[in-house]
Amino acid sequence: MSKLNIGIILGSTREGRVSPQVGEWIKKIADERGDANYEIVDIADYRLPLLGEADASEQAAAWNNKLASLDGFVFIVQEYNHSITAALKNALDYARDAWNNKAAGIVSYGSVGGARAAEHLRGILGELSVADVRVHPALSLFTDFENGTFKPADLHLTNVNGMLDQVLAWSGALKTIRS
């Protein structure tokens, strides 16, 4: 069986965001495992306007094609006002079938580890027929970041690897449904 393709989705587009740092950290850990093809997928690269406000045929096609090429996801989610970013919600809404019958892990961060954003995302993923996994690395703005620089505690490695184990198991199982 060929290796699964897992997208690490950066869930913010704002200037000065730290999600690229978190995404690179996850990718480094994932790549060291050698058990799947991991890639960072930055929603900012797709320049999706607010859904319904402009013709975004090209951007939407590119976004859907990228998602269709992936077997599973790891979302890097920051908490804004107890929820996910508007940019991530918009990107989720631009696709439907490309999300279906795939698995996702969530890595969140915020003042309470981004837990409220992760829970909100879980509800949205359920509607998109994405199976989110139980293990959820939650990073604290108070202990895992220093002056805008991501400095994760070593204790998160166990959760990251546990999450990746679950994402791969579920992604492999769900791939059989899509075949």
Assign residue 132 the CATH number of its domain. 3.40.50.360
| pLDDT tens per residue across span 82-130 | 999 999 999 999 999 999 999 999 999 999 999 999 999 999 999 999 9
Total residue length of the chain: 179
Domain, as residue range, for 39: 5-177
Residue 99 phi/psi, 5-degree rounding, is -85, -30
How many domains does the chain fold into?
Answer: 1
- pTM, entire model: 0.97
| pLDDT tens per residue across span 22-47 | 999 999 999 999 999 999 999 999 99
Q: How many angstroms separate the CA atoms of 30 and 27, rounded? A: 5
Query: Scanning the structure block, which residue is given the tokens 């166990």?
Result: 158
Q: How many angstroms separate the CA atoms of 143 and 103, rounded? A: 29
Cβ neighbours of 111 (radius 10 Å): 11
